[in-house]
């Protein structure tokens, strides 16, 4: 699909300033994407559970002179909490308006273990963040987008959401859920909006290191990845609704 990538007439759309909401913005892919989007002149709304890491990101926005920190909004939010996300949505709309793009990036992974060795609380933690956290964002932000019948939602998936891998069954299951959730919600959105499942590919993050160990360093960095990911996300259109894509 990816109709936006094939039309020269739509290329200019990526040049206008957008407000992009990113969950799990304080580290890894989320942080790299936020900085890249800010460099391109877009306004970032981000959330994370770590206030210290949000402060660090805000300092980066300022020290790199990307733009005034007033152009961005970073808030401590636990996406697995519906009440947290409900309040987050209220504040975002009040201070920044309805986001043009939402990137459901917040995620976690289990420690390498066979499924029967994964503690129940660890399995629950993966699903609470990866699946429930995404649904909470959809629950409170989609109704805000519907009146204008525009808006792009990107649910971060994984190659392991389209295949399987030993020792990370909880994570794989959560990303398969994201793929199915995305395809279903795509059928519920009004014409003009789009939701896609986006696999980042293999990137050297803390999550990858937890699975691959030292060999994670053989793969691309989040900063390198963000150059391609930002362009791809900014060029998504309603024609991509329901697609499973890969950076």
- Residues 61-96 have pLDDT tens digits of 988 765 455 689 999 999 999 999 999 999 999 999
Q: Could you tell me if 153 and 102 are in contact, meaning their C-beta atoms sit under 8 angstroms apart?
A: yes
Q: Could you tell me if 160 and 172 are in contact, meaning their C-beta atoms sit under 8 angstroms apart?
A: yes
Give the range of the structural domain holding residue 214, as residue numbers without chain letter.
Answer: 3-246
On the question of pLDDT at 180 being above 80, the answer is: yes
CA quadruple 224, 226, 229, 234: dihedral sign: negative
Which pLDDT score is estimated for 5? 43
Closest to 88 measured CA to CA, from 156, 138, 36, 151: 138
The three-class DSSP label of residue 200 is coil
- Residues 102-143 have pLDDT tens digits of 999 999 999 999 999 999 999 999 999 999 999 999 999 999
Q: With cut-offs at 50, 70 and 90, classify the pLDDT of residue 14.
A: very low
On the question of pLDDT at 204 being above 70, the answer is: no
**Choosing from 61, 88, 141, 171, which is the catalytic residue?**
171
On the question of pLDDT at 175 being above 70, the answer is: yes
Taking residues 189-200, report their average pLDDT: 97
On the question of pLDDT at 30 being above 70, the answer is: yes
- Residues 104-113 have pLDDT tens digits of 999 999 999 9
The three-class DSSP label of residue 243 is coil
The three-class DSSP label of residue 48 is strand
| Active-site residue, 127 included | no
Which pLDDT score is estimated for 87? 98
The CATH number assigned to the domain holding 162 equals: 3.40.50.720
Q: With cut-offs at 50, 70 and 90, classify the pLDDT of residue 208.
A: low
Q: How many domains does the chain have?
A: 1
Of the listed ranges 6-20, 47-61, 124-138, the least confidently predicted one is 6-20
CA quadruple 191, 5, 20, 12: dihedral sign: negative
Q: Which residues contact 149 (CB under 8 A, 6 or more apart)?
A: 190, 191, 192, 193
Which of the pair, 144 or 210, is modelled with greater confidence? 144
Of the listed ranges 8-17, 54-63, 99-108, the least confidently predicted one is 8-17
């Amino acid at each position: 699909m990816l109709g936006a990538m094939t039309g020269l007439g739509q290329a200019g759309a990526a040049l206008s300033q957008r407000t992009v909401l990113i969950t799990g913005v304080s580290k890894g892919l989320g942080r790299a994407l936020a900085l890249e989007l800010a460099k391109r002149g877009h306004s970032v709304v981000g959330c994370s559970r770590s206030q210290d890491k949000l402060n660090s990101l805000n300092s980066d926005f300022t020290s790199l002179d990307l733009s005034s920190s007033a152009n961005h909004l970073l808030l401590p939010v636990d996406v697995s909490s519906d009440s947290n996300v409900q309040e987050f949505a209220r504040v975002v709309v009040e201070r920044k308006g309805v986001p043009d793009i939402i990137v459901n990036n917040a995620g976690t992974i289990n420690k390498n273990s066979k499924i029967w060795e994964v503690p129940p609380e660890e399995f629950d933690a993966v699903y609470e963040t990866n699946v429930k956290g995404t649904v909470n964002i959809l629950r409170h932000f989609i109704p805000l987008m519907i009146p204008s019948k525009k808006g792009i939602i990107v649910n971060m998936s994984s190659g392991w959401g389209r295949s399987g891998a030993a020792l990370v069954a909880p994570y794989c299951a959560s990303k398969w859920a994201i793929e199915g959730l995305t395809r279903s919600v795509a059928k519920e959105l009004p014409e003009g909006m789009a939701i896609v499942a986006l696999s980042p590919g293999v990137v050297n993050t803390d999550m990858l290191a937890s699975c691959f160990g030292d060999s994670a360093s053989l793969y691309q960095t989040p900063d390198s990845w963000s150059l391609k990911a930002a362009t791809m996300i900014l060029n998504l259109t309603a024609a991509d609704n329901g697609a499973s894509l890969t950076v």
